[in-house]
């Protein structure tokens, strides 16, 4: 079983390495193509691919780093590296979106039409479409088994949509001579980038500020714990995440005196941990069990 699990990790890394190679090659082709054709939408798609390349590299690093054990210095391991990678990725996306939007608006309202070579633009975008489709098929089998791989799959899917947008713009210019189609396509790509950038940065801020994960109902967890036999009250509840999908929970639990007298503390701790793991996907939970007389003067101890 452990062999299969390790084999799965190795397979995922190999898929990511191949996808990274494909995206990096297409990125270079699109930058050169944008320079030769004068296409802003190709440049926008290249910027989109730069961000996605960053995301794929982060996914690869995460798959490697996640296997490293915790240490005395990094007591939770190195999972938060993924969060810093997402921060860099989100900032890159915002810079690309703003730069493309300013350039597109300048072309649309500037009066003078930019010269765009539709044939090179179409060829390069076609290469991007084929390459992205290949990377998508490569990552698809693993996307259903791993959150990390699903994120990488969505990165490439965004690239494919960008390539389709550029192809449509190139065809419009080729058959109608409507050059502003390039600037309009670049605005559409920027519009696709901005929501994703804000979602990434929102998740980063939530993790770094140690806010409770969006899908975690703290009140419901408290109710579950209070409903456990032997529990009197719950206080000092804290829920945060080391990285996306890795919530951590701590709480002080006031219990009936009988729990201590009968030696049921270990059994109760197992029950509480199992409850959080089964119902709320919280694998790392810490409980401090307290008799009622201790809880009564705890506020004084915390002053």
Q: Which residues pair with 290 in a beta bridge?
A: 254
- Using CA atoms, how far apart are residues 7 and 122, in angstroms rounded to an integer? 40
Domains and CATH numbers, the chain: 2-208 (1.20.1510.10), 218-301 (3.30.300.30)
Instruction: Give, for all 303 residues of the chain, the pLDDT tens digit.
Output: 444 444 445 566 777 788 888 889 988 998 998 888 888 888 888 887 887 788 778 777 766 776 677 777 777 777 777 777 778 778 887 888 888 888 888 888 875 566 788 888 899 999 989 988 888 888 787 666 555 566 667 777 878 888 899 999 999 999 998 888 998 988 998 888 888 788 878 888 888 888 888 778 888 888 888 888 888 889 888 988 887 777 888 999 999 888 888 888 889 998 888 888 887 878 788 899 888 776 555 555 444
Give the tokens for residue 238.
Answer: 């804290």
Q: Which structure tokens are listed for 210?
A: 């140690």
Tokens describing residue 141:
């089998």
pTM assigned to the model:
0.74
Give 130's Cβ-side CA count (13 Å radius): 7
Residues in a beta bridge with 253: 234, 289
Is residue 119 within 8 Å of residue 174, measured between CB atoms? yes
Q: Following CA atoms 149, 150, 155, 161 in sequence, which dihedral angle do they give, to the nearest 10 degrees? A: 140
């Amino acid at each position: 079983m452990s062999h299969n699990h390790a084999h799965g990790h190795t397979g995922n890394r190999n898929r990511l390495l191949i996808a990274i190679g494909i995206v990096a090659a297409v990125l270079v082709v699109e930058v050169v193509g944008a320079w030769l054709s004068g296409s802003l939408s190709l440049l926008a798609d290249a910027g989109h691919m730069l961000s996605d390349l960053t995301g794929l590299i982060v996914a690869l690093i995460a798959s490697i780093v996640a296997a490293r054990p915790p240490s005395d210095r990094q007591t939770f391991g190195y999972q938060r590296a993924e969060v810093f990678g997402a921060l860099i990725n989100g900032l890159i996306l915002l810079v690309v979106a703003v730069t493309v939007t300013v350039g597109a608006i300048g072309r649309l309202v500037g009066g003078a039409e930019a010269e765009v070579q539709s044939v090179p633009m179409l060829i390069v975008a076609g290469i991007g479409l084929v390459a992205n489709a290949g990377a998508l098929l490569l990552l698809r089998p693993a996307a259903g088994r791993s959150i990390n791989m699903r994120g990488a799959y969505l990165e490439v899917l965004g690239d494919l949509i960008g390539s389709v947008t550029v192809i449509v713009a190139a065809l419009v210019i080729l058959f109608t001579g409507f050059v502003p189609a390039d600037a309009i396509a670049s605005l559409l790509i920027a519009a696709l980038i901005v929501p994703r950038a804000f979602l990434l940065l929102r998740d980063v801020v939530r993790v770094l500020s140690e806010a409770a994960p969006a899908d975690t109902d703290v009140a419901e967890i408290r109710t579950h714990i209070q409903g456990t036999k032997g529990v009197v009250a719950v206080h000092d509840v804290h829920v945060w995440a080391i990285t996306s999908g890795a919530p951590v929970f701590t709480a002080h639990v006031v219990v009936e005196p009988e729990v201590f007298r009968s030696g049921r503390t270990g059994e109760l701790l197992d029950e509480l941990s199992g409850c959080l793991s089964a119902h709320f996907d919280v694998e790392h939970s810490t409980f401090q069990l307290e008799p009622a007389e201790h809880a009564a003067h705890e506020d004084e101890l915390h002053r």
